[in-house]
A = this chain, B = another copy of it.
Amino acid sequence: MLRILIYNEFLHEKDPACRARDIYPDGIHAELAALFNAQPDLTADTVTLETVNEITRERLRNTDVLVWWGHMAHGDVPEEIAALVQEEVLSGMGAVFLHSAHKAKPFMRLMGTSCSLIWRESDDLERIWVSAPGHPVAQGLGKYFELPAEETYGEPFGIPAPDETVFVGWFTGGEAFRSGCTWQRGNGKVFYFQPGHETYPTYKNADVRKVLLNAVRWAAPVYRCENCMDCPNPPKAHKTGFGE
Interface residues, chain A, CB within 8 Å of chain B? 86-87, 90, 92, 103, 109-114, 116-120, 122, 124-125, 127, 129-136, 139, 143, 152, 154-158, 160-165, 168-178, 183-188, 222-223, 225, 228-242, 244
CA distance A235 to B118 in the complex (A): 10
Give the number of copies in the complex.
4
A106 to chain B, nearest CB (A): 10
A174–B92 CA distance with the chains assembled, in angstroms? 27
From B112, B118, B122, B229, give the contact of A231 (CB < 8 A).
B118
Q: Do residues A158 and B186 form an inter-chain contact, with CB atoms below 8 A?
A: yes
Partner of A228, one of B158, B174, B185, B230: B158
A124 to B243 CA separation, bound complex (whole angstroms): 10
Q: A109-B112, A170-B174 are in contact. Are A132 and B156 (CB under 8 A)?
A: yes
Which residues of B sit under 8 angstroms from A222, Cβ to Cβ? 134-136, 139
Instruction: Decide if B183 touches A116 in the complex (CB within 8 Å).
Output: no
Given contact pairs A163-B161, A165-B178, A173 touches B237 in the complex (Cβ within 8 A)? yes
- Residues of B with C-beta under 8 A to A183: 160
Task: Note all chain B residues with C-beta closer than 8 A to A162.
Answer: 161
A164 partner, pick from B113, B161, B173, beta carbons under 8 A? B161
Complex Cα gap A165–B235 (Å): 24
- Shortest Cβ distance from A34 into chain B, in angstroms? 27
In this complex, the member of A130, A158, A163, A178 whose beta carbon has the largest number of chain B beta carbons within 10 angstroms is: A158
Chain B residues, Cβ within 8 Å of A237: 127, 173-174
Question: Which residues of chain B have C-beta atoms less than 8 A from A174's C-beta?
Answer: 127, 170, 236-238
Q: Which residues of chain B come closer than 8 Å to A176, judged between CB atoms? A: 127, 129, 168-170, 176-177
